[in-house]
Amino acid sequence: MVASGTATLNQWMERVWDGQMRRTASRPLPSGRLSGREALLFGILLSAGGGLYLAVTVNLLSAFLAISTLLSYLLVYTPLKRLTPLSTLLGAVPGAMPTLIGWAGASASLDRRAWFLFAILFLWQFPHFLAIALMYREDYDRAGYRMLPRFDLDSRFTRAEMLVFTAVLVVITTVPLVDRGGFIYTAGMLSAGAFMLYHVAKLARSASRSLASRVVHASVIYLPIVLGLMIACKA
């Protein structure tokens, strides 16, 4: 509910600019299928209801983390997208917070294993979202979003950044810090990492929309495999 409320309020905040981009012009608000008032009320009710539900039925820590995620996403990441490419770095923090919320909900605490999961999702977002930014660079520019550095017209810096973050991600996933390990775990993580690195490296060598699209698709295959291995393999 909090995640849905956050997404709704984000679209309410960006409804004018969403209408200027081809990829978002058909969303309910810019297309006129919903009014701004309806979306605002729906987003507030979802967010407040989700936070209250966590506080009453789960624990206060999970509720606090969920509301903190909402506030950082809407009040920090969303406005900064129009000001600086660093918004991707800052937005990756609320993007990875669900791992902490889930851990807090299950244990009412946070430990190094929770932060390990946070690190994986934090790093994963860079190849995923930067590939999307490369695919829709003109669209974002048209609406005034500064998703990529202005000095990086040939996207060489962005593609190198994606490769570095992906390499760090692959290394991190092989460290058995969540009571997982063994040959199957390590081999599986290295295989999944090689798959992800292959697609990111191809994009790093040659910029194209099709290669960026393949990175996006590879990333959404890679993450469930990593999480599945962490569930299946116990040290």
- pLDDT band for 77, please (50, 70, 90 cuts): very high
pLDDT of residue 99: 95
CA gap 231, 42 in Å, rounded: 35
pLDDT of 109 over the 80 cut: yes
Every domain of the chain and the residues it spans? 1-108, 111-235
pLDDT of 221 over the 60 cut: yes
CA gap 11, 23 in Å, rounded: 13
**DSSP string over the chain:** -HHHHHHHHHHHHTHHHHTTSTTTTTSTTTTTSS-HHHHHHHHHHHHHHHHHHHHHHT-HHHHHHHHHHHHHIIIIIHHHTTT-TTHHHHHHHHHHHHHHHHHHHHHSS--HHHHHHHHHHHHHHHHHHHHHHHHTHHHHHHHT---S-TT-TT-HHHHHHHHHHHHHHHHHHTS--SS--SHHHHHHHHHHHHHHHHHHHHHHHS--HHHHHHHHHHHHHHHHHHHHHHHH---
Q: Could you read off the pLDDT of 123-154 as tens digits, one per residue?
A: 999 999 999 999 999 989 888 899 888 888 89
Q: 114-118: list long-range contacts, CB under 8 Å, 24+ apart.
A: 116/172, 116/175, 116/177, 116/178, 117/178
Q: Could you read off the pLDDT of 2-61 as tens digits, one per residue?
A: 999 999 999 999 999 999 888 899 999 999 999 999 999 999 999 999 999 999 999 999
Query: pTM for the whole thing?
Result: 0.90
CA gap 111, 234 in Å, rounded: 18
Q: Could you read off the pLDDT of 154-213 as tens digits, one per residue?
A: 999 999 999 999 999 999 998 865 556 678 888 899 999 999 999 999 999 988 999 999
